[in-house]
Structure 1
Amino acid sequence: MKQFVIYKLKEGESRDDLTVLDDFFYPWEKETSPKTLFSAFYDDAYINFRFEAFGPKPKVFVATDNKLEVTKSERVEIFFRKNKEMTPYYCLEMDPNGRVLDYEANTYRKFNRKWMWPTSLCIKTVIKEDRYILEGKLSLSFLKEKEILKENQLEIGLYRGHCVELVNDIATIKWISWVDPKTEKPDFHVAESFGVLKLE
């Protein structure tokens, strides 16, 4: 499995000193994907993460502001699994407006979208001319409680849904991933789409 190591920030260090994960790509497209960067660090209570998603002004669908509107929008995603059988796994889909589609799932694609991540989840976003930046933090105690964080590592999926066209509520999405799921059609809800986030 692919692996990305994160660290505690040392005294005097800043985010600029962090290792950046930059090998995101289009598994199902022939062209090069827009640049996507991910970085993270942790402290005694939280994992702090950051996506930078490059491209034109992101396309975001807003009608009633229901969290399911995230599925029709540009977004970045993190999935967490308890085990290789994905029974269960947990999903965060986050758009440039800071909205979060959070849900619990079981294989295969059995979604409980009434489930909510605890309020300890905190998301901030900034939209710039050539990118949007999304930052968040995840409670270590919650990750341990759900048996996601074990022996200082998590099995996670890191993804981006790049919305290339939005006509009314119809979004055309091109899918970007850190790990190639090797499926015929776009699908991140499979065990092969996960890698390892290791806390050093």
Structure 2
Amino acid sequence: MLNLVILVILAGAIQSCQKSMKNIYYVERMDQQEDSPGNLVDIDWSHARLLDDFISPWQQAPTNTLFRALYDDDFFYFRFDVKESNILVYRNQNDEQEVVRSERVEIFFRQDERLDPYFGLEMDASGRVYDYQAHHYRKFEPQWTWPEGQLEVRSKRLTDGYTVMGKVGLESLKTLGLMDGNRLQAGLYRGRCTQLQGGNAEFHWISWIDPKTEQPDFHVASSFGALVFIK
């Protein structure tokens, strides 16, 4: 009986550890002198850890989404690689909020689990960025913009998908109260646009972390993990 209890405890501990590890992505540091790029397209991503276990909690479908990140003394660099044969992007007035009707990837940052506030970067396959500050629950401030000179995003269309690359100034992450030592609380997502008619879009929602919600929803504390900067 005692052995059975011990086995149950060990199994629970292992499961908890595996869940904890699943919620952490380790951000490798670039060598400041040798690797730090002059621009995004010059980044050598070979040292970045590959995050390839995105999930589709609400639909059984391939995710075809990869993520990598690096950092140096000044910036946090990120990259999404998406495999997609039918890239749907909505364009009307080319307003940044048209991103929410388009094929896109997303990063959310938060100070803590209260999500008061949290910050969103939604980036479509054309490189347009919808950046905002928000408060729980879904109280958006769409006129808010990321601090000047602290954000750059580029995209590249490929024959079988697209890539979105960006860099965020560490200064802005600290100013916004998002850096906790070497840890950054973040959510990583993709909105795969499966149908677009006029301004009406339908999506297949993809996430790094399963938020355990009945309906698709990234704007909850349970959808976040941690990006840990390796010193």
2:220 to 177, 190, 196: 190
1:5 to 26, 45, 53: 26
Instruction: Please say if residues 76 and 93 of structure 1, whose CA atoms lie closer than 8 Å, have aligned partners that are also in contact.
Output: yes
1:23-43 CA-partner distances (Å, limit 9, x unpaired) = 101110023x23100001001
Q: What SS does the corresponding residue of 1:114 show, helix, strand or coil?
A: coil
Distance 1:126 1:43 in 2: 23
Q: CA deviation at 1:8?
A: 1.0
Displaced runs of 4+ in structure 1, greater than 3 A?
Answer: 10-13
Q: What SS does the corresponding residue of 2:179 show, helix, strand or coil?
A: coil
Distance 2:80 2:176 in 1: 24
Q: Counterparts in 2 of 1:110-125, with a 5 A limit?
A: 110-119=139-148, 120-125=150-155
**Residues paired across the two proteins, number:** 199
Aligned to 1:149: 179
Q: CA deviation at 1:14?
A: 2.9
Instruction: Please say if residues 77 and 94 of structure 1, whose CA atoms lie closer than 8 Å, have aligned partners that are also in contact.
Output: yes
2:168 is the alignment partner of 1:138: yes
Q: CA deviation at 1:57?
A: 3.5
Aligned to 1:105: 134
Distance 2:46 2:64 in 1: 18
TM-score w.r.t. the length of structure 1 is 0.96
Please report the RMSD computed on the Cα atoms of aligned residues, expressed in angstroms.
Answer: 1.3
From the CA coordinates, give the structure whose radius of gyration is larger.
2
Which segment drifts farther, 178-187 or 143-152?
Answer: 143-152
Alignment gaps of 5+ in structure 1: none
Q: Which amino acid aligns with 1:61?
A: Y
1:57 to 86, 98, 108: 86
Aligned to 2:109: 80
Distance 2:212 2:63 in 1: 20
Alignment gaps of 5+ in structure 2: 1-19, 36-42
2:169 is the alignment partner of 1:169: no
Which segment drifts farther, 11-20 or 185-194?
Answer: 11-20
1:141-161 CA-partner distances (Å, limit 9, x unpaired) = 110111101111111000000
Percent identical: 43
> Which structure exhibits the higher relative contact order, with contacts defined as CA atoms closer than 8 Å and separated by 6 or more residues?
1
Q: CA deviation at 1:77?
A: 0.2
Instruction: Please say if residues 28 and 49 of structure 2, whose CA atoms lie closer than 8 Å, have aligned partners that are also in contact.
Output: no
Aligned to 1:25: 55
Distance 1:57 1:127 in 2: 11
Q: What SS does the corresponding residue of 1:141 show, helix, strand or coil?
A: helix
Distance 2:126 2:205 in 1: 19
- Which has the larger helix fraction? 2
1:58-92 CA-partner distances (Å, limit 9, x unpaired) = 10000001111011100000000011111100001
Distance 1:102 1:96 in 2: 15
Q: CA deviation at 1:167?
A: 1.0
2:111 is the alignment partner of 1:90: no
Distance 1:5 1:141 in 2: 20
Distance 2:101 2:225 in 1: 26
Q: Which amino acid aligns with 2:201?
A: A
Aligned to 1:66: 95
TM-score w.r.t. the length of structure 2 is 0.83
